[in-house]
Each structure stands twice: as structure tokens, then as C-alpha cells.
Amino acid sequence: MSAQRLHFTKMHALGNDFVVVEALQQAFEVDSNGICKLGNRQLGVGFDQLLVIRRNVESQADFDLDIYNSDGTKAEQCGNGTLCVARFLADRNFSIKKTLSFQTLGGKVRVTVDGQNVFAKLALPLVDPAAVPFVASSASLQYKVRVDLDALAEVQVTPIGMGNPHAVLFTNPYAKHVEAVAHALQNHVRFPESVNVEFVEVLDRQTIRMRVFERGAGETLACGTGSCAAVAAAKLSGLVDQCVRVEQKGGVAEVYWAGADEEIELSAPTTFVFDGEIDIE
């Protein structure tokens, strides 16, 4: 098989980094092995997620957005990624619309570019176990899950569906056992599609601190859907107000959620890093 020359753009939102590929003017087809090679930070370009922009042929959205983790697996949703993609399309004049819609595996996302500000309206946060998905005999907000670690037998989690699955734990994000807990939950039978894990400390009613471990990518410096899941879990627990700052290793995201049947809104700064070319098979 001959190699194909791929044009790409590296971007990030709060250090949550992406390779953005427009498959509008160039062909792009690659298997999971190729994605892994591209995502390798030593031998490829490196990214938390690969974002592939395609035309939406059914006119249900402005664009289709394919999302892949660095291990080659598909992801349903990516909040920070949609912010970066909208900025990319606006800056490269692929669209003159102020608000763009993207069809993802996790549903439709609308993103507005207003000067230097980018806002994404994501899905309604879901707590129904089947919608996360999370295995439970009855519906609740919080559940105890056995992890059987040496220092910890079980943890209390709030499963949240954001188009992709999340497990929010209210605890010290920098406790020494959090990585082991994240790994245990991501391989737990009660999360049949694995899960993104957020460790959250509520600082006040407008501020939380979060550390996140993503499926297929490991710990990341920030996570958009994770920020939204954390705020949703905290608000449903009566711990925060509608407007919340989410402090992460890579910086601060802002999340607004009125609650009930309302969509959740995410904002974070987007940064262009570089354009590049690479041969892939």
C-alpha cells in the first residue's frame, strides 16, 4: 500500500490536544493502526484525540465530525475538540456561519464562534443508567462501586452521559490512589463501554477543581465533556450554581447549565499550534 500525504493542523484547548484533519478537500481513510502511529508522541505527531471533519451528506448538520482516541478507538463526543474544530473552520474560511453544527456519534453539537470566544452547546446531561451506559438495578444519582484496591475497597460515583460515558467522583483530585481508581473503573463490568473518570473537588459554588482520565487517552490536561459532566453532577447534588469555573491542569474552562431539560454550555480558549504534513499508510 502506498503512503498518502496527510495535511493536518495541531490545536489544543487548555492543553487537551488534537490533530485536526479536514477531509473536505483531501481524502482521508486510515485504520486503527494508522491512527495509533499518528497519535504516538515519540514516533508520530501525538494527540489526545484525532478530529476528522467531513461533509454531512444528509444535511442534518453543517459537518460530520469523526473522533478517535490516541489508541485508535472511536469516541462519541469531544467538547474541547468541537471548540477547536469550529475555530479551525472559521479561521480557514471553510464556513462564514457564526454558529456551526456537527454530527458526532454522540449526537449533534452546536458551536458559536464570536471573535476570540468559542461556545459549544452540548447534549443534555443524562443520569439514566442505560443512557450512560452504567449497569444498575435501579436509578439513582450516586452509586457505590467495588474497585477492590489494596487501599480502597469501593468508591462512590455519579455516572453522567454526555453523549459519551463519565463517572464523577467527589474527592481530592490529587490523592495518590486516583489513577488506580480510574483504571479500575474503566475496566469495570458496570461500565460496559468503559468510562471517562473525573475526580472533582468543589471549592465554592462557582468553582470546582478537576482531574480527568479519558478512555483511550489516559490522563489529559483538560476535558470538555468531562468539565460538563463534573458540573452537572455537582449541580444535581446541590453543590454549585449555574455558572461554574472548572480548574484543570491545563487551565480553566467555563460551564453554564440551567439544569432540568436544558443543554449544557462549554467555553474554553482554543490555540493553534502548527500546520504539518506527514505520510501515512
Active site residues: 78, 223
Cα 247 to Cα 253: distance, rounded to the nearest angstrom: 7
What is the residue whose three cell numbers read 502511529?
A: 37
Cα 132 to Cα 164: distance, rounded to the nearest angstrom: 7
